[in-house]
Amino acid sequence: MGSGLADRIAEQLALIEDRLLAEAHGDTPFVTEAAAHIIAAGGKRFRPGMVVTVAALYGTAAVESVVKAALAVELTHVASLYHDDVMDEAELRRGTVSANRRFENTVAILVGDFLFARASGCVADLGAGYVKLHAETFSRLVQGQIGEVQGAAAGVSAYDHYLRVIADKTASLISTSAVYGGMVSGAPAGDLAILAALGDEIGTVFQLSDDLLDITSTQSGKTPGTDLREGVLTLPTLLVAASADPADARLQELIGRPLSDEAEVAEALGLLREHAAMGAAREEIARRAAAAETHLDALPAGEANDALRELCRSVVSRSA
Ligand code: FPP
Ligand code: MG
C-alpha cells in the first residue's frame, strides 16, 4: 500500500475511533462507562477497515458518510458482542474482563441494545437504503445466532448448518461493511453485488479463522475452548466427527457433548491441537480466502484494491 493511501486510511480510522467513544455517551456516567467498556478495550476494527478501504477504491465519498457507515457497522458488531458474551457466559473479551462479568447480564444486554440504537441513528443519517440493509443484516445476525443454539435441523448436514450459521452471524455484517463502502461512494449496482459477494465470502473465512483461534490461541483476548464448552462444532471438530479412524474415538466422545469439566476441555484442546484436522482446516481457509480475493479482479484496480487483497490475506494469516 502506498503511503498516501495508508495515511488516509489510518487518519479515517483514528477519527472513527474517537467517534465510536462519542457514540457510547449516555445520559448517565454509568451508561457511558458500561457502553464504552468494550469499545475502549480495542479490537481489530475489521468492519470499519472494510468500509474505509472499499470507499478508497472509488475515492469519491464524503468523509462524514464513510465515518457514519463505519460507526454503524462497528457499533452493531460491538452490540452483538455484549449479547454474545452473555450467551457464552464469557469471562474475557478483547483481553479484558467481559461486560457481563464486570457488570451483570441484565446491564450487558441492555447496553448492547443501547449501542444498537446508536448504530440505528447512524444509518438513519445516511438514508433509507442504508436502514433497509442494516435491518436485513440484523435479522441475519440474530437468526445465525439462533441457528447456532438450535443446531442442525433434521436432514441438514452438520457442515452445511455450520456454514449457514457463520454466514449469517458473521459474514452478513462484513458483507454489509463492504457494500456500505461502495454505497457511500456511489458505486454502480454491479459493483455493489460484487462487494456483497466478496464480503460474504471473506466474512465466512473470518469466522472459520476465528473458530480455529478458539482452539489454538492463548493470545486472542478471549478464553480458548468456548465452542467445546458449549458443544458447538466448528470446521476442525466437524472433520474429526466425520473421521472413521478408531484413534479418534476419545476426541469424538469429547466433542460430541458440551464440556463443563475444565480437565476435559484441556484434554480436548490438547488432542485437537495435535490433530491433522487442524492442517486440513487451515487449507480450507486458505482456499476460500483465495477464492474470495478473485472478486477483486472485477473491481477498480489500484492501491485500494491491493489493500483489500492484503485484508483478505490477513484473515488467513491470523490463524495460520
Ligand atoms: C460471535 O460469535 C457472535 C456474533 C458474530 C454474532 C452475535 C449476534 C447476536 C448475539 C445477536 C444480537 C445482536 C445485536 C446487534 C444486539 P462467537 O461466539 O463465535 O465469537 P467470539 O469468539 O468472538 O465470542
Ligand atoms: Mg462468543
pLDDT attached to residue 222: 86
Q: What is the DSSP letter of 96?
A: E
Which residue from 169, 204, 206, 217 has its CB within 8 A of the most atoms of ligand 1, so it is best to mutate? 169
Q: Residue 47 Cα, ligand 1 centroid: separation in angstroms?
A: 14
Terminus-to-terminus CA distance in the chain, angstroms?
A: 22
Taking each helix axis from N to C end, the angle separating 105-126 and 63-88, rounded to the nearest 10 degrees, works out to 160
The pLDDT, as a whole number, for residue 2 is 54
| Residue carrying C-alpha cell 461486560 | 99
Q: Which residues contact 210 (CB under 8 A, 6 or more apart)?
A: 170, 319
Sign of CA dihedral 154, 159, 162, 166: negative
Question: Among 136, 118, 129, 46, which residue's Cα sits nearest to residue 82?
Answer: 118
Nearest residue (CA) to ligand 1, atom 12: 80
Nearest-CA residue for ligand 1 atom 11 is 142
- For the chain, what's the residue count? 320
Read off the pLDDT of each residue in 162-187 and give the average, rounded to a whole number: 98
**Domain ranges (residues) in the chain:** 3-317
Task: List pLDDT tens digits, range 205-219.
Answer: 999 999 999 999 888
pLDDT score of 99 = 95
Write out pLDDT tens, residues 276-312: 999 999 999 999 999 999 999 999 999 999 999 999 9
- If you average pLDDT over residues 175-195, what whole number do you get? 98
pLDDT at 188: 97
**Confidence at 221, pLDDT banded by 50, 70, 90:** confident
| Residues 166 and 202 sit within 8 Å (Cβ to Cβ) | no
| Alpha-carbon 118 to chain mean position | 19
Q: Where do we find the cell 458440551? A: 258
Mean of the per-residue pLDDT values of the chain: 95
Convert the pLDDT of each residue in 14-39 to its tens digit. Answer: 999 999 999 999 999 999 999 999 99
Instruction: Determine phi and psi for 96, rounding to 5 degrees.
Output: -130, 170
The CA 120 to ligand 1 mean position distance, Å, reads 18
Mean pLDDT in residue range 85-98: 93
pLDDT on residue 319 = 79
Q: Is the distance from CB of 133 to CB of 178 less than 8 angstroms?
A: no
Neighbours of 257 (CB within 10 A): 10
C-alpha closest to that of 50 among 184, 212, 190: 184
Tell which atom from ligand 1 comes closest to the C-alpha of 210.
Answer: 22
For 3-317, CATH number out of 3.40.50.720, 1.20.1050.10, 3.40.50.150, 1.10.600.10 equals 1.10.600.10
H-helix or E-strand spanning residue 111: helix 105-126
Bridge pairing between strands 96-97 and 92-93: antiparallel
- Average pLDDT (230-249) is 95
Ligand nearest to the CA of 88: 2
Q: How far is the CA of 19 from the centre of ligand 1 (A)?
A: 22
Mean pLDDT (whole number) for 232-248: 95
Pocket of ligand 1 (CB under 6 A): 76, 79-80, 83-84, 88, 112, 116, 138, 141-142, 145, 169-170, 210, 214, 222, 226
1 has pLDDT over 60: no
Q: Ligand 2 centre from 286 Cα, in Å?
A: 23
Can you tell me which atom of ligand 1 is nearest the CA of 77? 15
Question: Which residue owns the Cα nearest ligand 1 atom 15?
Answer: 80
CA 190 vs. chain centroid, Å, equals 25
Nearest protein CA to atom 20 of ligand 1, as residue:
210
Going by alpha carbons, the residue nearest to atom 9 of ligand 1 is 80
Mean pLDDT computed over 242-250: 95
